[in-house]
Amino acid sequence: MNQSYSVEESWARAEDARDPLAWCRDAFELPRAPAGVPLVYLCGNSLGLMPKAAAARVQTELEAWGRLGVEAHFEGPHPWYSYGAPLCEPLGRLAGAGPDEVVAMNSLTVNLHLMLVTFYRPEGTRRKILLEESAFPSDRYALASHLAARGIGPDALLVAKPRPGERLLRSEDVEALLAREGREIALVWLGAVHYYTGQLLELERIAAAARRAGCLVGFDLAHAIGNVPLALHDWGVDFAVWCSYKYLNAGPGAVGGCYVHRRHGRDPALSRFAGWWGNDPATRFAMQSQADFIPVPGVAGWQVSNPPILALAPLAASLELFERAGFAELRRKSERLTGYLEFLLSEPGGDRLGVLTPRRPAERGCQLSVLVRGGGAEALTRRLREHGIVTDYREPDVIRVAPVPLYNTFHEVWRFGRTLVELLAAG
Ligand SMILES: Cc1ncc(COP(=O)(O)O)c(C=O)c1O
């Protein structure tokens, strides 16, 4: 643990004064209590805050619609026909992929369904899907529905579990499982950062093990993109999907995203659920010709419908902030901010509190999952909220706390720590 942290308020204030990313906070709307006081918002793992520029970006497109009508598809400040294209460079930087390998579209589970159509290819005895025991329910429902659609029983879902008495997944156990049963596994599907424990899996290592076993591999990046460094292309990951309302700050139900490795993106023969927006733009409007579907090269060829421009506008505003801040700098601050939270959590409550999330920064993002032993996590979350601190409770015994480097401060983390000490002391 970093010895340079301190429980003194003045230390947290000084750290904020030194923060080269302090300007970012002013670029966000901060939720306030009814009296107007800003809340300490440590809940970006659930819904990221609103970039101030989002409202103007949406307004620009509303005005373009009002002023230009249908012409705004090709005229105006950001022609709608290609609105998503400039988002691919910044999204690619966050995913560690080329601009042709990422696209903003749909929502996470919808994208997972589209990916499973292409990348779940049961053949002979290789029919299973490997997932973690505590996978996010939506993922499990999607995977099970693809098995059912192909007449395969639910026992083809093979789960990777933590060891008895443990709550984190060990890479060596996933590797061993793949070495042992890989010949029966068609697809490996795992959450990159686990929504409950906050564990960041060793994605490169797992992707390599999956490849050695002849399996395709995809990751759920809901809690990873915009939070942890990713190099999907270099790691050889086959595909990934994400939502944009958490660390990408693109608003409730925001347009999600999808990554497909270039080696697949360049293969027009891959089967997929097609729509006109994934078709070659040269023939997209040649509706009379009844021509066959020609996929756009890259992941763009998995698009189905024309995108919701008003919903993409906040994502554009948010990605501009990531570009200005630079992800390496954000990650540096994130590690320090979360390290500070961990330091403060080592003080209060004695045995009452624990941290489920791995200690090593390389194995986590900004979220720490605080385990409340002996019950009372929900009540504690409520009491924190009464003191102006927003975190979230997950059944049965965890409070998720996520200081986000774009908008949270060291002083906010200090306030969380001090409030926790007071609440625990009050019993
Ligand atoms: C890990 C994870 N996977 C999947 C989802 C589902 O996302 P969506 O509603 O965008 O399909 C969520 C939503 O919070 C999530 O946290």
DSSP for 221-267, please give it.
-TTTTTTS---HHHHT--EEEE-SSSTT---TT---EEEE-HHHHT-
Split at pLDDT 50, 70, 90, the class of 1 is very low
* Ligand 1 contact, 132 CB (< 6 A): no
**Which pLDDT score, from 0 to 100, does residue 82 have?**
95
Q: How many other β-carbons are positioned within 10 Å of the β-carbon of residue 117?
A: 17
Asked if residues 158 and 135 have their Cβ atoms less than 8 Å apart, the reply is no
Judging by beta carbons within 10 Å of its beta carbon (0-12, 13-18, 19+), is residue 239 exposed, middle or buried? buried
| Angle made by CA atoms 367, 373, 379, in degrees to the nearest 5 | 75
**Residues 41-79: pLDDT tens digits?**
999 999 999 999 999 999 999 999 999 999 999 999 999
Q: What spacing in Å lies between the alpha carbon of 113 and ligand 1's midpoint?
A: 13
Task: Give per-residue burial for 48-64: e unless 16+ CB within 10 Å, then b.
Answer: bbbbebbeebbeebeeb
Asked if residues 254 and 275 have their Cβ atoms less than 8 Å apart, the reply is no
Tokens of 112: 């997972």
Q: What spacing in Å lies between the alpha carbon of 249 and ligand 1's midpoint?
A: 14
**Which pLDDT score, from 0 to 100, does residue 381 have?**
97
Asked if residues 195 and 223 have their Cβ atoms less than 8 Å apart, the reply is yes
Atom index in ligand 1 nearest the CA of residue 245 equals 10
> How does strand 216-220 pair with strand 239-242?
parallel
Q: What spacing in Å lies between the alpha carbon of 71 and ligand 1's midpoint?
A: 35
Judging by beta carbons within 10 Å of its beta carbon (0-12, 13-18, 19+), is residue 8 exposed, middle or buried? exposed
Residue closest to 313 by CA, chosen among 22, 72, 113: 72
Residue closest to 250 by CA, chosen among 105, 142, 364: 105
**Residues 147-160: pLDDT tens digits?**
999 999 999 999 99
* Ligand 1 contact, 397 CB (< 6 A): no
**Which pLDDT score, from 0 to 100, does residue 125 have?**
94
Please tell me the distance from the alpha carbon of residue 19 to that of residue 10, in angstroms, as a whole number: 14
* Ligand 1 contact, 138 CB (< 6 A): yes
Q: What spacing in Å lies between the alpha carbon of 390 and ligand 1's midpoint?
A: 20
| Average pLDDT across the chain, whole number | 96
Q: What spacing in Å lies between the alpha carbon of 263 and ligand 1's midpoint?
A: 27
**Residues 121-179: pLDDT tens digits?**
999 999 999 999 999 999 999 999 999 999 999 999 999 999 999 999 999 999 999 99
**Which pLDDT score, from 0 to 100, does residue 349 have?**
64
Peptide bond into 137 cis (omega under 30): no
Q: What spacing in Å lies between the alpha carbon of 139 and ligand 1's midpoint?
A: 8
Q: What spacing in Å lies between the alpha carbon of 222 and ligand 1's midpoint?
A: 6
Split at pLDDT 50, 70, 90, the class of 425 is confident
> How does strand 353-355 pair with strand 368-372?
antiparallel
Split at pLDDT 50, 70, 90, the class of 3 is low
* Ligand 1 contact, 120 CB (< 6 A): no
Q: How many other β-carbons are positioned within 10 Å of the β-carbon of residue 373?
A: 13
Tokens of 425: 């002391």
Pairwise pLDDT comparison (208 vs 281), residue with the higher score: 208
* Ligand 1 contact, 245 CB (< 6 A): no
Q: How many other β-carbons are positioned within 10 Å of the β-carbon of residue 423?
A: 18
* Ligand 1 contact, 222 CB (< 6 A): yes
Please tell me the distance from the alpha carbon of residue 408 to that of residue 334, in angstroms, as a whole number: 9
Tokens of 196: 């409950």
Please tell me the distance from the alpha carbon of residue 199 to that of residue 169, in angstroms, as a whole number: 8
Distances (CA, A) of 391 to 166, 292, 341, 349: 24, 51, 13, 18
Q: What is the DSSP string of 128-153?
A: EEEEETT--HHHHHHHHHHHHHTT--
pTM for this prediction: 0.97
Please tell me the distance from the alpha carbon of residue 350 to that of residue 158, in angstroms, as a whole number: 38
Q: Which residues contact 95 (CB under 8 A, 6 or more apart)?
A: 101, 102, 221, 225, 230, 232, 240, 257, 259
Q: What is the DSSP string of 324-363?
A: HH-HHHHHHHHHHHHHHHHHHHTSTTGGGEEE-S-SSGGG
* Ligand 1 contact, 109 CB (< 6 A): yes
